[in-house]
Amino acid sequence: MALRVAVAGASGYAGGEVLRLLLGHPEIEIGALTGGSNAGARFGTLQPHLLPLADRVLEPTTPEVLAGHDIVFLGLPHGQSAAVAEALGEDVLVVDCGADFRLKDAATWEKFYGSPHAGTWPYGLPELPGHRAALKGTKRIAVPGCYPTAVSLALFPAYAAKLAEPEAVIVAASGTSGAGKAVKAHLLGSEVMGSMSPYGVGGGHRHTPEMAQNLGPVAGEPVTVSFTPTLAPMPRGILATCSAKAKPGVTAEALRAAYQEALAGEPFVHLLPEGQWPQTSSVYGSNAALIQVALDEHAGRIIAISAIDNLVKGTAGGAVQSMNIALGLPEELGLPMNGVAP
Residues 128-187 that bind its own copies (CB under 8 A): 167, 169, 171, 173, 175-177, 179, 181, 183-185, 187
In whole angstroms, how close is the CB of 183 to its own copies at the nearest point? 4
> Which of 228, 315, 322, 324 forms a contact with its own copies (CB under 8 A)?
228
Establish if 213 lies at the interface with its own copies (CB under 8 A): no
Q: Are 70 and 92 in contact (CB under 8 A)?
A: yes
Q: How would you classify the pairing of strands 164-174 and 238-246?
A: antiparallel
Kindly name the residue from 146, 244, 269, 316 that is annotated as catalytic: 146
> Which of 28, 291, 305, 323 forms a contact with its own copies (CB under 8 A)?
305
Question: What's the CA gap between 174 and 196, in Å, rounded?
Answer: 10
- Residue with smaller CB distance to its own copies, 219 or 303: 303
Neighbours of 78 (CB within 10 A): 13
> Which of 224, 254, 257, 333 forms a contact with its own copies (CB under 8 A)?
224
Provide CB contacts within 8 A for 265, sequence distance 6+: none
Provide CB contacts within 8 A for 137, sequence distance 6+: 326, 328
Q: Does an H or E element contain 59, and which? A: strand 59-60
- Residue with smaller CB distance to its own copies, 17 or 70: 17
Q: Which residues pair with 261 in a beta bridge?
A: none
Establish if 84 lies at the interface with its own copies (CB under 8 A): no
Interacting stretch for its own copies, rule CB under 8 A, among 29-37, 93-101, 116-124, 218-226? 218-226
Interacting stretch for its own copies, rule CB under 8 A, among 115-123, 125-133, 157-165, 224-232? 224-232
Asked about 146 being catalytic, the answer comes back as: yes
- Considering only residues 19 to 38 of the shown chain, the ones binding its own copies according to CB under 8 A are 20, 23-24
Establish if 57 lies at the interface with its own copies (CB under 8 A): no
Establish if 295 lies at the interface with its own copies (CB under 8 A): yes
| Per-position x/- string for 193-212, each x denoting binding to its own copies as judged by CB under 8 A, each - no binding | xxxxxxx-xxx----x----
Neighbours of 247 (CB within 10 A): 16
3-state secondary structure of 168: strand
Q: How many residues bind its own copies (CB under 8 A)?
A: 93
- Residue with smaller CB distance to its own copies, 246 or 262: 246
Measured in whole angstroms, how far is the alpha carbon of residue 47 from the centre of its chain? Answer: 21
Question: What's the CA gap between 16 and 14, in Å, rounded?
Answer: 5
Question: What's the CA gap between 82 and 100, in Å, rounded?
Answer: 7
Question: What's the CA gap between 233 and 240, in Å, rounded?
Answer: 15
Question: What's the CA gap between 294 and 260, in Å, rounded?
Answer: 13
Establish if 16 lies at the interface with its own copies (CB under 8 A): yes
In whole angstroms, how close is the CB of 147 to its own copies at the nearest point? 14
- Considering only residues 235 to 254 of the shown chain, the ones binding its own copies according to CB under 8 A are 235-237, 239, 241, 243
Establish if 111 lies at the interface with its own copies (CB under 8 A): no
Q: Are 280 and 309 in contact (CB under 8 A)?
A: yes
Give the closest residue to 277 by CA, choosing from 257, 288, 292: 292
In whole angstroms, how close is the CB of 278 to its own copies at the nearest point? 8
Establish if 222 lies at the interface with its own copies (CB under 8 A): no
Catalytic residue numbers read: 146
